Amino acid sequence: MESQVRGGTRWKRFAVVMVPSVAATAAIGVALAQGALAASFSVSGQQFKVTADSLEGNGFVQYGAVDSGYTLAGDKTVRPVAVSAFNDATITNLCQSVVTPDVPIFGKVSLILKAGGNGKPVEASKLYIDLDDLSADATFTNINIGVAAVDSHKGPGIKQGDKTNPYGFAQEADHASLTGVKQTAWATTAGTFKLSGLHMSISTDAKECY
């Protein structure tokens, strides 16, 4: 239902540079569950896909940045991303998948992570997501569009180590509500990440969340 509160804004299937998002990387899921993760690391040469029935996030900010990392061939590279961040978030029916190509004998192999079902959502704090594509239905409460990234105060602020222009475009909101989330991302970090009902599986059929 569209928000009627003054300062609330709703967009459907909106562009990547104007949206918040959610993700949980299976490769670092255990580390996240155990506590804080270093803010800076080299990003792998593989994207991952994420779906979620819903995300409710408090204290949202989004800004542009550049991720340093590798290609699958091992070459150094950089990628433009939109960084979406929340002070805290709850996620219902999270699914994440990453496909590794050229695995000996099997070819493509998928790693699939699911959590946050049966009425026990995933819970995260100081959540940062580096993404390049997302679709969802979203409602923002008390949103500011066009604030300088360095002056944003509703969310957790610019992540330490991010390569960004602190005086560039950003947007922020008190609360963001997303449904029907589908996204591709390169990295996720969080202070804490509680994956209720975690189930991780391997598939040799190259299955993905979408």
Q: Which of 52, 179, 180, 196 is nearest to 115 (CA)?
A: 196
Question: Given pLDDT bands bounded at 50, 70 and 90, which one contains residue 40?
Answer: low
pLDDT at 41: 77
Largest separation between any pair of C-alpha atoms in the chain: 58
Measured distance CA(113)–CA(11) in Å, rounded: 28
Please state the rounded mean pLDDT for residues 178-192.
Answer: 96
> Chain-wide mean pLDDT for the chain?
84
pLDDT, tens digit, 9 for 90 and up, residues 42-53: 899 999 999 999
Measured distance CA(108)–CA(105) in Å, rounded: 9
Q: Which of 20, 36, 16 is nearest to 143 (CA)?
A: 20
Burial 83-103 (b: 16+ CB within 10 A, else e): bbbbbbbbbbbbbbbbbeeee
Q: Is residue 13 pLDDT above 90, yes or no? A: no
pLDDT at 120: 97
pLDDT at 125: 97
Q: Is 41 exposed, middle or buried (0-12, 13-18, 19+ CB in 10 A)?
A: middle
The residue with greater pLDDT, 37 or 193, is: 193
pLDDT, tens digit, 9 for 90 and up, residues 75-130: 999 999 999 999 999 999 999 999 999 889 999 999 999 999 999 999 999 999 99
pLDDT, tens digit, 9 for 90 and up, residues 167-184: 999 999 999 999 999 999
pLDDT at 115: 97
> pTM for this one?
0.82
Q: Is residue 25 pLDDT above 90, yes or no? A: no
Query: What proportion of the chain, given as a percentage, has pLDDT over 70?
Result: 81
Domain segments of the chain: what residues? 9-203
Q: Is residue 157 pLDDT above 60, yes or no? A: yes
pLDDT at 126: 96
Could you give the C-alpha distances from 3 to 6, 72, 90, in angstroms and in order?
8, 43, 19
